[in-house]
């Protein structure tokens, strides 16, 4: 079959050039030399009989024809990558893969233990590495992370994703040292000093929209908040699932004194792994573990349209 010399490597370089609009950055991202990318661009210009990128001032801009190529070239490359990654079968009992899963501290606290147990039962020879959001999230974009489990609102729209569970926000304080009323009202919440997680919280922007700025007393790792708050006069705003299923008599737990939508969490996989049997298996394991959580709400049919 004759494609007039056009090869998949040409399309990969063209896709990067159309996205970066810079020969040097395209070469760096592709691990190629700048002359090699420049030579490929010259070949592509001859092949398509179009300059593709033209210099305007200090930058390169796409020609109208190049703009028309962006979507079909990207789609073709993704389809090719998906086919290249496909394997004829996946047998969990025999798999020796190394999985990399990215989770927030909160999600790891409630999901990681049962997830590792489930993977160990189904695929005893696999190894798992859990990385946090403080690591380079761009590794997911580069296909170096098998799965992410994160709040829905910070996920990428152009990769595969699925809602898993919801969790409601609660006020948390010390039952003995705080002297809290049974129900914490807005004024009490605003006057209090607050214990925040080191990891950013999505609720912060929602509070700011309500005109509420928390007086921060300390920042600590997410998972330590229920222990550290004991003996302090501070409040924390946390997802309810963080409290676990153990004895909570030493904690004062109250609903927020203003309406706040529950936080939706989901799992996300790279678009290139959409049809990969191992990724499909892993997504099923995560889904089953999430559905078994007792302290959080499962998602409904309405969430799958998000």
Q: What's the alpha-carbon Rg for the chain, to the nearest Å?
A: 25
pLDDT tens per residue across span 237-262: 999 988 887 788 899 999 999 988 88
Segment 51-71 mean pLDDT: 90
* Inter-CA distances, 264 with 110, 150, 189, 302, Å: 14, 9, 24, 12
What pLDDT, on the 0 to 100 scale, is given for residue 304? 58
Q: What would the two tokens of residue 72 be?
A: 């079909």
- Alpha carbon distance 173, 232 (integer Å): 8
Q: Which CATH class is domain 92-164+263-305?
A: alpha beta
> Domain extents for the chain?
8-85, 92-164+263-305, 169-255
CB-based contact 17:41 (threshold 8 Å): yes
pLDDT in the model for residue 296: 72
Strand partners, 147: 101
Q: What are phi and psi of 190, to 5 degrees?
A: -70, -35
d(CA 234, CA 252): 11
From the list 95, 114, 160, the residue with the least C-alpha distance to 304 is 160
Question: Which residue in 263, 240, 268 sits closest to 149, CA to CA?
Answer: 268
Buried b (16+ CB within 10 A) or exposed e, 203-227: beebbeeeeeebeebeeeebbebbe
- Give the helix/strand (H/E) hosting 149: strand 147-151
Common-topology check for domains 92-164+263-305 and 169-255: yes
Residue 169: Cβ-neighbour burial (10 angstroms; 0-12, 13-18, 19+):
buried
Per residue in 218-239, pLDDT tens? 999 888 999 999 999 999 999 9
- Whole-angstrom distance, CA of residue 149 vs CA of residue 103: 5
pLDDT at 135 over 90: no
Q: Which fold has domain 8-85?
A: Arc Repressor Mutant, subunit A (1.10.10)
Q: Which residues pair with 173 in a beta bridge?
A: 235, 252
Beta bridge partners of 62: 53
Q: Report the distance separating Cα 41 and Cα 35, nearest Å.
A: 10
**pTM of this structure:** 0.66
- The whole-number average pLDDT for the span 270-295 is 89
Name the nearest CA neighbour of 217 among 209, 207, 206, 228.
228
**Cβ count within 10 A of residue 2:** 5
pLDDT one-digit tens code per residue, 85-116: 666 678 899 899 999 999 988 898 889 999 99
**Residue 267 and residue 140: Cα distance in Å, rounded?**
12
Rounded distance between C-alpha atoms, residue 45 and residue 59, angstroms: 18
Q: What is the pLDDT of residue 245?
A: 78
* Residue 120 pLDDT grade (very low, low, confident, very high; cuts 50, 70, 90): very high
CATH fold for the domain made of 169-255? D-Maltodextrin-Binding Protein; domain 2 (3.40.190)
Least confident range of 75-89, 116-130, 203-217: 75-89
Q: Please list the alpha-helical segments (H only) found in 153-261.
A: 186-191, 203-209, 225-228
What is the distance between the alpha carbons of residues 235 and 229, in angstroms, rounded to a whole number? 8
> Has residue 136 got a pLDDT over 80?
no
pLDDT band per the 50, 70, 90 thresholds, residue 1: very low
Confidence of residue 306 (pLDDT cuts 50, 70, 90): low
What is the overall mean pLDDT for the chain? Answer: 87
Rounded CA gap, 274 and 252, in Å? 44
């Amino acid at each position: 079959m004759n494609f007039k010399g056009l090869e998949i490597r040409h399309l990969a370089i063209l896709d990067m050039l159309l996205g970066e609009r810079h020969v040097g950055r395209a070469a760096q991202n592709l691990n190629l030399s700048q002359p090699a990318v420049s030579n490929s661009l010259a070949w592509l210009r001859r092949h398509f009989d179009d300059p593709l990128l033209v210099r305007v001032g200090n930058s390169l801009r796409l020609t109208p024809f190049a703009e028309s190529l962006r979507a079909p070239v990207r789609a073709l490359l993704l389809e090719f990558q998906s086919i290249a990654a496909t394997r004829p079968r996946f047998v969990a009992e025999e798999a020796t893969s190394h999985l990399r899963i990215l989770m927030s501290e909160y999600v790891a606290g409630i999901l990681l233990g049962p997830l590792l147990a489930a993977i160990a039962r189904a695929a005893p020879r696999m190894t798992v590495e859990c990385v946090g959001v403080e690591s380079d999230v761009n590794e997911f974009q580069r296909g170096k992370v098998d799965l992410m489990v994160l709040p829905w609102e910070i996920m990428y729209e152009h990769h595969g994703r699925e809602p898993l569970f919801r969790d409601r926000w609660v006020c948390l304080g010390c039952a003995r040292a705080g002297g809290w009323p049974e129900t914490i009202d807005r004024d009490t919440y605003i006057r209090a000093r607050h214990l925040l997680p080191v990891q950013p919280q999505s609720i912060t922007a929602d509070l700011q929209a309500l005109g509420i700025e928390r007086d921060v007393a300390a920042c600590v790792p997410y998972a330590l908040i229920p222990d550290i708050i004991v003996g302090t006069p501070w409040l924390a705003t946390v997802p309810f699932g963080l409290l676990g299923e153990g004895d909570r008599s030493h904690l004062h737990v109250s609903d927020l004194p203003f309406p706040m939508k529950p936080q939706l969490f989901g799992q996300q996989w790279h678009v290139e792994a959409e049809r990969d049997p191992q990724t499909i298996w892993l997504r099923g394991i995560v889904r089953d573990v999430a559905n078994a959580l007792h302290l959080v709400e499962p998602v409904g049919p309405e969430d799958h349209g998000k």
